[in-house]
């Protein structure tokens, strides 16, 4: 029986994989939180992975506090760069399959058309820089890896934009949301299923892939969709990013082109509204 190690098990993606795992009893699933697979302690991490001996690794663990990363650069780079390189090295040396999750924040946001996997990377914040270095280390240590870049992840688990909006719209009469950052959300359950579909597929095609739900929207439009589905009475206003300053800059356009993963793995990716409805069931 092949053993699948899921890092970041208590995060959004790890939690969704845990839900799906019962449908795939042919695998021995190991869901590791930060105590079982310690991404910020490389010496311990190396020991832990060698003890687990996975055949397949879903690296969902990451330092994701985008604004905090500006002041915790060393920690962000340890988790998002150095730990990834170490995991990829293990995978290479032990003939294990590795799917590593990355981000749209490796781009600078200056494009006006959907970003494919060949577009030049140019992160504009520390988090994005650390994730890009992780991608580079991953493919350097193990060229047979699969990297999936995703964006605007949300889920019934953990903290995310959708859950924050649901709470605020019930607490307040009016909220403002930035309307000049364009992309597409990713329902973590959809991405989790895609990762399993890749493992289950008859072919393994290494490299970088993009994945998010279909649709091109702003955060403001996303909030309006949440309001409609939840039938909230809260008024939603759109504001420019300049009215909502944050320590880390965000790319203003990070819509991902998904043609590569759809074609090579024959995927049917749902529209964001279709997946968002599942949050309200």
CATH number at residue 58: 3.40.50.720
Residues 6+ apart with CB under 8 A from 24: 196, 200
- pLDDT attached to residue 244: 87
Query: Has residue 11 got a pLDDT over 90?
Result: yes
Instruction: Evaluate whether residue 235 is within a structural domain.
Output: no
Instruction: Evaluate whether residue 170 is within a structural domain.
Output: no
Q: Are 248 and 127 in contact (CB under 8 A)?
A: yes
Instruction: Evaluate whether residue 46 is within a structural domain.
Output: yes
d(CA 6, CA 212): 20
From the candidates 63, 105, 127, 272, give the one annotated as an active-site residue: 127
Instruction: Evaluate whether residue 230 is within a structural domain.
Output: no
pLDDT band for position 207 (cuts 50, 70, 90): very high
227-254: average pLDDT = 96
127 is catalytic: yes
> In total, how many domains does the chain have?
1
Instruction: Evaluate whether residue 219 is within a structural domain.
Output: no
What's the gap between Cα 24 and its chain centre? 22
Instruction: Evaluate whether residue 169 is within a structural domain.
Output: no
d(CA 128, CA 151): 12
Q: Above pLDDT 70, what percent of the chain?
A: 100
Instruction: Evaluate whether residue 82 is within a structural domain.
Output: yes
103-130: average pLDDT = 97
184-209 b/e (C-beta count within 10 Å ≥ 16 → b) = bbbbbbbbbbbbbebbeeeeeeeebb
Give the angle subtended at the CA of 130 by the CAs of 128 and 134, to the nearest 5°.
110
Residue 38's domain comprises: 2-160+185-214+254-271
Instruction: Evaluate whether residue 190 is within a structural domain.
Output: yes
Q: What are the tens digits of pLDDT across the range 41-59?
A: 999 999 999 999 999 999 9
In order of 48, 99, 100, 182, 208, the CA distances from 135 in angstroms are 22, 11, 8, 23, 9
Residue 54 CB-density burial (10 A; 0-12 exposed, 13-18 middle, 19+ buried): buried
Question: For the whole model, what pTM was predicted?
Answer: 0.97
């Amino acid at each position: 029986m092949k053993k699948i190690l899921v890092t970041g098990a208590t995060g959004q993606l790890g939690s969704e994989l845990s839900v799906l795992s019962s449908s795939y009893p042919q695998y021995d699933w190991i869901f590791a939180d930060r105590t079982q697979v310690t991404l910020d302690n490389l010496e311990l991490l190396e020991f832990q992975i060698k003890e687990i001996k996975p055949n397949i690794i879903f690296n969902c663990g990451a330092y994701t506090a985008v604004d905090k990363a500006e002041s915790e650069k060393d920690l962000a780079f340890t988790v998002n760069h150095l730990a990834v390189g170490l995991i990829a090295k293990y995978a290479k040396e032990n003939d294990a399959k590795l799917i590593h999750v990355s981000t749209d924040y490796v781009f600078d946001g200056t494009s006006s058309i959907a970003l494919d996997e060949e577009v030049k990377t140019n992160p504009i914040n520390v988090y994005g820089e650390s994730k890009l270095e992780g991608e580079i280390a991953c493919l350097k240590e193990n060229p047979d890896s699969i990297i999936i870049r995703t964006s605007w992840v949300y889920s019934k688990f953990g903290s995310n934009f959708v859950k924050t909006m649901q709470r605020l719209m019930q607490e307040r009469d009016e909220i403002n949301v930035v309307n000049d950052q364009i992309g597409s959300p990713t329902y973590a359950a959809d991405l989790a299923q895609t990762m399993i579909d890749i493992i289950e597929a008859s072919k393994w095609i290494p490299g970088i892939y993009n994945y998010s739900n279909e649709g091109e929207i702003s955060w403001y439009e996303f909030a309006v969709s949440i309001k409609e589905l939840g039938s909230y009475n809260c008024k939603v206003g759109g504001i420019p990013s300049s009215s909502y300053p944050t320590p880390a800059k965000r790319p203003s356009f990070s819509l991902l082109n998904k043609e590569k993963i759809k074609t090579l793995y024959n995927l049917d990716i749902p529209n964001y509204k279709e997946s968002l409805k599942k949050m309200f069931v």
